[in-house]
Amino acid sequence: GLGYLPSWASPSPVLHLGRTDTPDELPPIRVSSQNNERTAPMLKQVIGRLRRAGRAMDLYPIPGQTALSAPAKSYHYGGSFPMSATPSDDFSSDLFGRVGGLKNVHLVDASVFPTVPATTFTLTIMANAHRIATKVLRDQL
């Protein structure tokens, strides 16, 4: 199974954007994480619920095999570099998706959407999965 913890219980991504000597150079970017004291208890709670529901879902967590991916690992993490006509800092993008004044780097995914706080389609996928699972369970009873 693949799942996500809510953002308030997940480690936070920390972006380190380096400087370049010329505007035509790509900047060095390093992504690290900041621990969140809520992560371990939330993960334990989720695994416990999966164990209790495992038979109905035919999904059984394997002890010792659960792993957390790095922060912000998803398909399209929205709102990381909010787009604005007047960017306020190095982590805001202009109307061309440029961050930190970099002329030749254009972000074109959901990271520039200022009001998309999380993955853009994960909740839709989860809602569809819930709909299907609910229908299958009702039809089996």
Residue 40 amino acid letter = A
Beta strands in the chain (DSSP E): 12-17, 29-34
- pTM check: above 0.85: no
In the predicted structure, residue 117 carries a pLDDT above the cut 60:
no
To the nearest whole percent, how much of the chain has pLDDT over 70? Answer: 86
pLDDT band of 91, cuts 50, 70, 90: confident
Q: Which residues are 77's β-sheet partners?
A: 119
- Mean per-residue pLDDT for 56-73? 79
User: Is the Cα dihedral 99, 103, 104, 107 positive or negative?
Assistant: positive
Report the C-alpha gap between 62 and 47 in whole angstroms: 10
- Give backbone dihedrals phi and psi of 93, rounded to 5 degrees, phi first: -110, 155
Report the C-alpha gap between 118 and 80 in whole angstroms: 9
Nearest to 98 by CA among 89, 90, 107: 107
- Mean per-residue pLDDT for 39-43? 93
Average pLDDT taken over every residue of the chain: 80
